[in-house]
């Protein structure tokens, strides 16, 4: 998704919010682990497949109806990319407020990305909250974007990661 969410018509923004939440639900489901029992592995795989099927159906319908089409974004692996993504999602959900479901799966996906970045850069994990509504998610996405900004320093106009040495 490269389009600015502020430029989207309200119906498209609402559809996009539902789509990115389904995408996050699917991505958050664990892969079947070999140590699990066969029954647990099969149930997990069925749940993941069902979540993917729901997401894919919504993606196809969205892309038939709206332009620009939504492309699933790669997992944000840098503070700069994650910060930008957090702000786009913040803008999207801030605009919708009570017109969309609370994106708890999207927030969990964001936390997981932040955790991976934090481990790689030797940072404390971000504190997780359980949001009660979209406004709380919007605040948390902004806090996560600020956390990303704190990991980046400017050096001669070029972004440079600031890594703590243990």
pLDDT computed for residue 34 by the predictor = 59
Q: Where are the domains of the chain?
A: 5-154
Closest CA to 30 of 134, 137, 124, 108: 108
Peptide bond into 166 cis (omega under 30): no
Per-residue pLDDT of the chain (166 residues; tens, 9 = 90+): 445 777 889 999 999 999 999 999 999 988 656 566 777 778 888 888 999 999 999 999 999 999 888 887 766 889 999 999 999 999 999 999 777 889 999 999 999 999 999 999 888 888 898 898 999 999 999 999 999 998 885 323 334 444 444 4
Give the Cα separation of 146 and 144 in Å (integer): 5
The overall pTM is greater than 0.85: no
Only one residue has tokens 């994990």, namely: 125
pLDDT computed for residue 161 by the predictor = 46
Give the Cα separation of 80 and 59 in Å (integer): 26
Peptide bond into 68 cis (omega under 30): yes
Give the Cα separation of 150 and 37 in Å (integer): 43
pLDDT computed for residue 165 by the predictor = 40
Are 149 and 81 spatial neighbours (Cβ–Cβ below 8 Å)?
no
Supply 140's token pair: 């948390």
pLDDT computed for residue 124 by the predictor = 84
């Amino acid at each position: 998704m490269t389009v600015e969410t502020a430029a989207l018509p309200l119906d498209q923004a609402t559809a996009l919010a539902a789509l990115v939440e389904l995408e996050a639900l699917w991505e958050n489901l664990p892969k079947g682990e070999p140590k699990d029992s066969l029954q647990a592995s099969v149930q997990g795989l069925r749940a993941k497949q069902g979540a993917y099927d729901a997401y894919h159906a919504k993606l196809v319908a969205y892309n038939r109806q709206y332009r620009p089409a939504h492309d699933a974004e790669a997992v944000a692996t840098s503070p700069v990319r994650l910060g930008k993504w957090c702000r786009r999602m913040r803008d999207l959900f801030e605009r919708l407020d009570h017109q969309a479901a609370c994106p708890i799966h999207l927030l969990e996906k964001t936390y997981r990305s932040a955790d991976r970045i934090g481990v790689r850069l030797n940072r404390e994990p971000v504190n997780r909250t359980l949001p009660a509504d979209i406004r709380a998610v919007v605040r948390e996405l902004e806090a996560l974007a600020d956390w990303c900004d704190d990991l980046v320093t400017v050096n001669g106009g070029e972004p440079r990661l600031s890594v703590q040495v243990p």
